[in-house]
Chain A
Amino acid sequence: MIQHSMFHEKGPVFWWTGLAGVMAAGTIVILFASLVIESVPVFKAEGISFLWGVDWFAGENYGALPMIFGSLAVTGLAVVMVLPFALASAILTSEFLSGRARLMVKAAMELLAGVPGIIYGLMGISLLTIWVRDVFGLIDGNTLFTAGLLLAVMILPTIMTLSEDALSSVPGELRDTALSLGLTRMETVTKVVVPQALPGLAGAVFLGIGRAMGETIAVMLVIGGIDRLPQPWFNLFAPGQSIPSKIGREAAEALGFDVQWSALIALGLVLFVMVMTLTFAGNVLLRKAR
């Protein structure tokens, strides 16, 4: 009854919260709608082949494939490189550390997850590119591989801490039971805890991939900035371009209503769809895990 009358009493509080609620919930809708509407001009100019065109010359033609490929390549690389470290540290923290040490590790990870992308970018451009160049004997250290490596380090705290949450939410009774049957601690982890936490772990990884894919500034500084597919395509020690990096590099010069601007927005739309798919899948998996 009381709740009911609260809803109908449209005082200033109702209008303030209602307006805020509509704004908060509407933002994502407006974002998506704007991306779609603003990318119409480039699809009119290029047709759907914008998505698999391989050339991008501002003012002439626009093809998104090198950027899509670059985004997938650096994100894929980052995930492959980060997984062993993230999972090992998550398992160690959740299964083998005492409560106090665990909380300290978690706090440290939360702190590290907040390190701004530009710091990683600075690190990348002044140290990592040179290191990659020297170690792999390249002419230029700005490559897809470098960007992937940098991203791997960046998403380590996020994936680690989400994976740790997934592991430590596995009920203690399962561990006790496995141990009481004479399994070793490691067998308990690999045969009982990890399988049980699998949806949660997958969710953590998906969310991490989503974050990595959207990272702009650090990637932009080390990826090389060449809008071409590498030759051959699997040569990741070649310079490339990711979607956010492309937008970041060209947005300032294209601000406005040109086809170039529309092409950048269309790239944003592609990125948006890819990241949302990953995030949605990740959240479904995480919810399933609970």
Chain B
Amino acid sequence: MGAMSPIISVSNLSKTYASGFSALKSVDLDINRGEIFALLGPNGAGKTTLISIICGLVNPSSGTVTADGHDIAKDYRAARTKIGLVPQELTTDAFETVWATVNFSRGLFGKPRNPALLEQILKDLSLWDKRDSTIRTLSGGMKRRVMIAKALSHEPQILFLDEPSAGVDVELRQDMWQLVRRLRENGVTIILTTHYIEEAEEMADRIGVISKGEIILVEDKTELMRKLGKKQLTLVLQQTMAAVPAALAQYNLALAADGEELVYTYDTKAERTGITSLLQDLASAGIRFKDLNTSQSSLEDIFVSLVRERK
């Protein structure tokens, strides 16, 4: 396997549930080795179905998936050995101790016992003090840590985090992202789904957007931000305005805040943003302003507008 070949390759993957609901429609997706890939999409878009198929929890209706070159159906042992999954739901064995359940996970994935490694994982997740506690006595955040420890116990090369921040406090979220970064430094590929778009914006190398069972966009995060990133210049006027003067029509200005603000939307990647001429024209039209600010559209804005476009 070359270093540049995708670590996960999904091709023509479809899933129609028995109810007739079509959760995935002919999805193609490559995940690069060693990247953090964020899969964004509204509820019911097919994020969890896609992850569940790759991890072996759901049978696909058609299509293929390979993990590190191994077909997930024909060569499931080799494929699954590479993969760790932290599911969305907190499903743990209530009556087991943390130590027992993490050991169990490692064995289940075909690895010999390795207490030193598990100790390190538990320490990294601030669980070492809780190793002899039964899981039901732990808080929700601690249970989430246990789920992560279980998924890491067999040293996976690919880690799936399905909505990892759902119901998690700030401290754990930051611990988790630190861990994710450390894992990536060690060459682990991470695929996460999230509703916290700022998280994807902060963490991910690449972003995929899924909507109604179709991947509608896969893009480098910075590229995506640049390509779709629009900037807005807001001018707070000294005197309210009823309508944009005809002399300024070419700038497609919008009035906001009951005529107190003029908003100019421009493209950051364009050679000429038009700001200089706009300001000159404003001055010659005698329009004075008391304040101005610029803002860049966030990934969330991009995401919302993308999903809206499809509707």
Are A and B associated in one complex?
Answer: no
Q: Which of A's residues lie within 8 Å of B, judged by CB?
A: none
Query: Contact residues of B with A, CB < 8 Å?
Result: none
